[in-house]
Amino acid sequence: MAAVVSATSKPWLASYSGEMKPHVEEVPYRLLGDIATQAARRTPDKVAFTCVMPNGMAGSLTYGEVDRLSDQFAAYLSGELRLAPGSRVAIQAPNGLAYPVVAFGVFKAGCTLVNVNPLYVAEETAAVFADAEISALVVIDMFAKRTEAVLTVTPVPHVVLVSAAEFFPVVPRTVIGFVQKRIRKEIPPAAFPHIRLATALAQGRARLARGLKIADITAGLDPSAVACLQYTGGTTGVSKGAMLTHANLIMNVLQVLAFAGSKISQNDTILTALPLYHIFAFMVNFLTFAARSGHIVMVPNPRPLANLRKVFEKYPISFITGVNTLFNGLLNESWFVALPKPHLKICVAGGMALQAAVAERWAKIVGVPLGEGYGLTETSPVVCFNPLGSYRPGTIGIPIPDTDVKCVDEDFNEVPAGTPGELAVRGAQVMAGYWRYSDETAKVMRGDWILTGDIATMDPDGYFRIVDRRKDMILVSGFNVFPNEVEDVLARLPGIREAAVIGVPDGAAGEAPKAFVVRSDPAITAEMVRSHCKAHLTGYKVPKFVEFRDDLPKSNVGKILRRELRA
């Protein structure tokens, strides 16, 4: 009889090799603002952030500039607005040069950053502002009309407006501003009290000149203080703010760097098509690459994907992070397939399941393997990664340093290797809890373990595989059907661009799988879809219903939203 392998024995440690370290050996930062300060001391003149518009116009900031400007913003918040440590400051803007200045400024002021999706409608935004009790808001001027509607419902004491071309050189900034305001009419008048970011920075600069010391602002702040309220549907479906502390996020940065070794260096350039207000890009692209003094190239809006073309043409992209739909979409762009990518070395997918068909096509066409990682907002977010450059297809990799992971049954008993169970995680990156939702916190926490809501299995050597979300599982006549498995089969049928599977009511059987399909070949029929599935799946897993659509509902990062299909 084979020995039962338990996650508590940490079999994944045998896969740590070379520079990979199983533990974080040193914590060089007390608070998140220290990342900007130390990067500026190391490499003050190195380009840190570049924002690239679809037409190729771009602006950049060095690490020295980011540190200096974020000091000024911190002085504005603390010295001018008199915001106490812990006050919530929201930023609602797409990727741009204002983001690192504001975010690091918030951390240096000891305030709590609230990342808000700029695509939220007024009702969604107002709900977040009210729940978090926002003291100050930084918002892009393009959405002034919507902001006005939000402020009539949920007033915010202080509003700072930023532009899409903030910190760009004079000529491109002027051109972009003229086109947005005069030609496209994209910037409405702001009919509410506000100041521009440049004015806020000037006021902060004056405070510093009068003797305000940034180090004094947070001298008494502990790393256990909440750095971010990151709103998420979480593992229980209710929108709530995960309280991520300075220690949570700093440790997750250091865990990833210990895991990656020299594969992430200051010579690397990372494409940031995912929005920085999303926890994946926020931690990996923003904080982790800043800690290495890397070059972070940002795109305000990657849709259509042609918006990324100038980035690949002009910059030596060596890293890409994204979700399955981004990689799948790029493979369907002829310019991307044809374009040389001599610097590209690491491609990592997260945020949703990576389909095997996409990973295989990517490796074949791009020539660089596509690896999968795993995390969730409540874990800051990274939990598992495939060792960089050495990927095991179909897995989310192994736990990163100082992280325990196991699969458990409904009674929280660990299940044997190869047996599906709910993924549970323990580590320094696990959140402090949900803001004002102690009952929701209690639902997911078991001591210092957090239940993720994801069903997974562990290989005998400690590699984990996500089966599916617990709430997305379909029950057909007592048999479990996992949508990820069916979607992966559908992705292998030539002529299908995208697919999603949900369960729908089906009389005595309880539920039946229904497939929503986006075709690249209009000749594909429902019967062809079902026949393809029958060849690869047992009968009860085959979609009983097939519906063709022009597109599928997606989140801000491109994750397909099954809940909207169910609705």
Predicted confidence (pLDDT) per residue in 198-211, tens digit? 999 999 999 999 99
Position 237 scores a pLDDT of: 53
pTM: 0.88
What CATH number does residue 552 fall under? 3.30.300.30
pLDDT tens digit sequence for 541-552: 999 999 999 999
Does residue 3 have a pLDDT over 60?
A: no
Residue type, 6: S
| Separation between Cα atoms, residue 412 and residue 126, nearest integer Å | 38
> Mean of the pLDDT values across residues 254-267?
96
Position 238 scores a pLDDT of: 57
**Residue 516 maps to a domain:** yes
**Residue 484's domain spans which residues?**
473-566
**Residue 561 maps to a domain:** yes
Phi, psi for 399 (deg, rounded to 5) = -60, 140
Is residue 471 very low, low, confident or very high in pLDDT (cuts 50, 70, 90)?
A: confident
| Separation between Cα atoms, residue 549 and residue 89, nearest integer Å | 40
| Separation between Cα atoms, residue 36 and residue 41, nearest integer Å | 9
**Residue 337 maps to a domain:** no
Is residue 265 very low, low, confident or very high in pLDDT (cuts 50, 70, 90)?
A: very high
**Residue 88 maps to a domain:** no
Does residue 509 have a pLDDT over 80?
A: no
Does residue 367 have a pLDDT over 60?
A: yes
Average pLDDT of the chain to the nearest whole number = 94
Half-sphere exposure (Cβ direction) of 17: Cα atoms closer than 13 Å: 7
pLDDT tens digit sequence for 135-149: 999 999 999 999 999
Does residue 403 have a pLDDT over 70?
A: yes
**Residue 137 maps to a domain:** no
> Mean of the pLDDT values across residues 274-293?
96
| Separation between Cα atoms, residue 206 and residue 208, nearest integer Å | 5
Does residue 407 have a pLDDT over 70?
A: yes
> Mean of the pLDDT values across residues 284-295?
98
Our count of domains for the chain comes to: 1
Phi, psi for 162 (deg, rounded to 5) = -120, 160
pLDDT tens digit sequence for 40-65: 999 999 999 999 999 999 999 999 99
Position 555 scores a pLDDT of: 84
Residue type, 9: S
Answer yes or no: are the C-beta atoms of 461 and 14 closer than 8 Å. yes
Beta strands 403-408 and 398-399, pairing class: unpaired
**Residue 436 maps to a domain:** no
Position 476 scores a pLDDT of: 85
Does residue 1 have a pLDDT over 90?
A: no
Q: Classify residue 171 as exposed, middle or buried by CB count within 10 Å of its CB (0-12, 13-18, 19+).
A: exposed
Q: What is the 3-state secondary structure (H, E, C) of 158-227?
A: EEEEECCCCCCCHHHHHHHHHHHHHHCCCCCCCCCCCEEHHHHHHHHHHHHHCCCCHHHHCCCCCCCCEE
Is residue 383 very low, low, confident or very high in pLDDT (cuts 50, 70, 90)?
A: very high
Position 212 scores a pLDDT of: 97
| Tokens linked to 96 | 């741009």
| Tokens linked to 32 | 């998140």
DSSP state for residue 487 in the 8-state scheme: H
**Residue 513 maps to a domain:** yes
Which is more confident, 2 or 438? Answer: 438
Half-sphere exposure (Cβ direction) of 328: Cα atoms closer than 13 Å: 22
Q: Give all strands (DSSP E) within 267-378, no chain letters.
A: 269-272, 295-298, 319-322, 346-349, 370-375
> Mean of the pLDDT values across residues 349-373?
91
| Tokens linked to 257 | 């760097």
| Tokens linked to 38 | 């130390």
Is residue 379 very low, low, confident or very high in pLDDT (cuts 50, 70, 90)?
A: very high
Is residue 507 very low, low, confident or very high in pLDDT (cuts 50, 70, 90)?
A: confident
Spatial CB neighbours of 65, under 8 Å, sequence gap ≥ 6 = 48, 167
> Mean of the pLDDT values across residues 339-350?
94
Does residue 408 have a pLDDT over 80?
A: yes
Answer yes or no: are the C-beta atoms of 45 and 64 closer than 8 Å. yes
pLDDT tens digit sequence for 513-537: 999 999 999 999 999 999 999 999 8
> Mean of the pLDDT values across residues 459-485?
86
Return the percentage of the chain with pLDDT > 70, whole number.
Answer: 98
**Residue 562 maps to a domain:** yes
